[in-house]
């Protein structure tokens, strides 16, 4: 009959070293090298929290991986995203403190019986702290730090935390470089000019923006990762469907979520996505259309634009096609698109966007969800059902060279 109902707690029990050693097995869709542990000389835990300085330093994502019914002693470096004071049904005060790092967030509930209650009550949004504790997954109420100790981070520790996970930062740098190369390879000078102008004027903000607030690539720089992966996928499909205008497709991918620079952008010194009036009132599709129109007008003022009068198709038609990709990329009216996809590039862009978002959700799910039974992972928001581990690629086949040798005549 398989594992008992408590098997998720057995499968979830991992030490920090086991996570690093087995991450490729438990998370087949994860990018190689992501979320490595920060080793800080683990000497074991004696049960006294005065040993906190000797605990391994983990990210919040890694805390989710190790937390279970048995207490797990680790420390995290985080920023306070939000602090809200509430009352229990009996009228006792408690705090809900949202903690965040470069890749994840977690709600810490601090009740008035907690020795840190008064200290936690003074925490301000944007504060940087170290929280050392025995981490327990309570199930219904999420992950709880027990026997917590807290201290403010040094300036050096703040800078290290803001730089994010080293492997993620490296991947985002490579992705950004690839985006620059894709833009440089655009042959249509009008599309190349408007893309280059966007990166020139808004590149720094682009690199701080998330692709979403919660569901996928919801981290600083997540939009860069999303755009780079979409470009790769779209250009691969363009090899199969030669009718596609690859210049338009690359530009459309770059701009499809550009309005999120005013909807999901992180500040320079924090992990909290502030809500902005423009994003709330207009939404990223409307903002993206306005931005591209503005950049297009500015590009027409450049000296080289005089030569575009001779180009076909006409510049205004190119602009309209680019705007259509932004307007239609959600694919359905009920998902916020004012129009449905009506061109080959618009169809491809919509589906590539959706595929990459879904694949990132699955990657994230494999990384953070509890394993209910071998190969079965607990559903995660917004996924509607439990997910299954993907089928591994076949192994154990003879090497091609051996097959050739066996095929040779005597």
Q: Is-contact 130 76, C-beta < 8 A?
A: yes
Q: Is-contact 138 111, C-beta < 8 A?
A: no
* Structure tokens belonging to residue 261: 């620079």
- Quick check: 278 pLDDT over 70? yes
- Quick check: 289 pLDDT over 80? yes
| pLDDT tens digits along 44-91 | 334 455 578 889 999 998 898 888 889 999 999 999 999 999 999 999
Closest CA to 244 of 177, 304, 325, 355: 325
- Quick check: 236 pLDDT over 80? yes
HSE, side-chain direction, 13 A CA sphere, residue 229: 22
Provide the pLDDT for residue 402.
Answer: 63
Overall average pLDDT of the 198-224 stretch: 93
Provide the pLDDT for residue 83.
Answer: 94
CB count in 10 Å sphere of residue 159: 12
Average pLDDT along the chain: 86
Q: Is-contact 331 337, C-beta < 8 A?
A: yes
Residues with Cβ within 8 Å of 156's Cβ and at least 6 positions away in sequence, in order, are none
Provide the pLDDT for residue 406.
Answer: 63
Residues with Cβ within 8 Å of 384's Cβ and at least 6 positions away in sequence, in order, are none
> How far is it, in rounded angstroms, from Cα 141 to Cα 138?
6
Question: What is the model's pTM?
Answer: 0.77
Provide the pLDDT for residue 118.
Answer: 95
Provide the pLDDT for residue 27.
Answer: 38
Which of the residue ranges 187-196, 264-273, 302-311 would you say has the lowest mean pLDDT?
A: 264-273
Provide the pLDDT for residue 53.
Answer: 82
Higher per-residue pLDDT: 163 or 356: 356
Banded model confidence at residue 213, pLDDT cuts 50, 70, 90: confident
Banded model confidence at residue 405, pLDDT cuts 50, 70, 90: low
| pLDDT tens digits along 8-40 | 333 333 444 444 443 333 333 343 333 333 323
- Quick check: 235 pLDDT over 70? yes
- The answer to whether domain 37-161 has CATH 2.40.50.100 is no
- Quick check: 247 pLDDT over 80? yes
- Quick check: 171 pLDDT over 70? yes
| pLDDT tens digits along 101-149 | 988 889 999 999 999 999 999 999 999 999 999 999 988 788 999 999 9
Provide the pLDDT for residue 281.
Answer: 94
Local structure of 252: helix, strand or coil: helix
């Amino acid at each position: 009959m398989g594992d008992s109902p408590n098997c998720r707690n057995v499968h979830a029990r991992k030490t920090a070293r086991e996570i690093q050693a087995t991450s490729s097995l438990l998370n087949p869709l994860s990018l190689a090298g992501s979320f490595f542990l920060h080793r800080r000389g683990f000497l074991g835990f004696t049960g006294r929290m005065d040993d906190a300085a000797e605990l391994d330093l983990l990210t919040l994502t890694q805390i989710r991986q190790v937390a279970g019914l048995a207490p797990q002693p680790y420390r995290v470096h985080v920023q306070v995203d939000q602090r809200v004071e509430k009352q229990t049904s009996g009228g006792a005060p408690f705090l809900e403190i949202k903690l965040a790092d470069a890749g994840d967030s977690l709600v810490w509930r601090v009740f008035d019986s907690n020795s840190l209650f008064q200290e936690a009550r003074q925490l301000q949004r944007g504060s940087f702290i170290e929280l050392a504790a025995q981490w327990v997954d309570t199930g219904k109420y999420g992950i709880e730090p027990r026997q917590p100790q807290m201290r403010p981070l040094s300036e050096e520790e703040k800078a290290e935390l803001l730089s994010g996970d080293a492997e993620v930062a490296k991947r985002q740098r490579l992705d950004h470089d690839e985006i620059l190369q894709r833009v440089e390879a655009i042959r249509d000078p009008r599309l190349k000019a408007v893309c280059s102008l966007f990166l020139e004027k808004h590149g720094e903000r682009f690199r701080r923006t998330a692709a979403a607030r919660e569901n996928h690539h919801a981290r600083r720089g997540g939009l860069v990762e999303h755009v780079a992966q979409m470009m790769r996928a779209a250009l691969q499909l363009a090899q199969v469907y030669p009718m596609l205008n690859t210049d338009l497709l690359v530009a459309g991918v770059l701009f499809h979520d550009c309005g999120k620079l005013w909807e999901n952008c992180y500040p320079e010194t924090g992990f909290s996505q502030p809500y902005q009036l423009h994003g709330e009132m207009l939404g990223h599709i409307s903002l993206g259309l306005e931005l591209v129109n503005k950049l297009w007008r500015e590009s027409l003022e450049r000296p080289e634009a005089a030569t575009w009068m001779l180009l076909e198709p006409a510049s205004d038609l190119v602009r309209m096609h680019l705007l259509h990709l932004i307007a239609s990329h959600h694919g359905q009216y009920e998902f916020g698109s004012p129009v449905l996809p009506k061109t080959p590039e618009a169809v491809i862009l919509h589906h590539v966007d959706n595929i990459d978002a879904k694949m990132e959700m699955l990657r994230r799910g494999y990384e953070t969800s509890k394993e209910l039974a071998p190969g079965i992972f607990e559903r995660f928001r917004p996924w509607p059902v439990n997910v299954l581990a993907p089928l591994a690629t076949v192994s154990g086949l003879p090497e091609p060279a051996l097959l050739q040798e066996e095929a040779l005549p005597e």
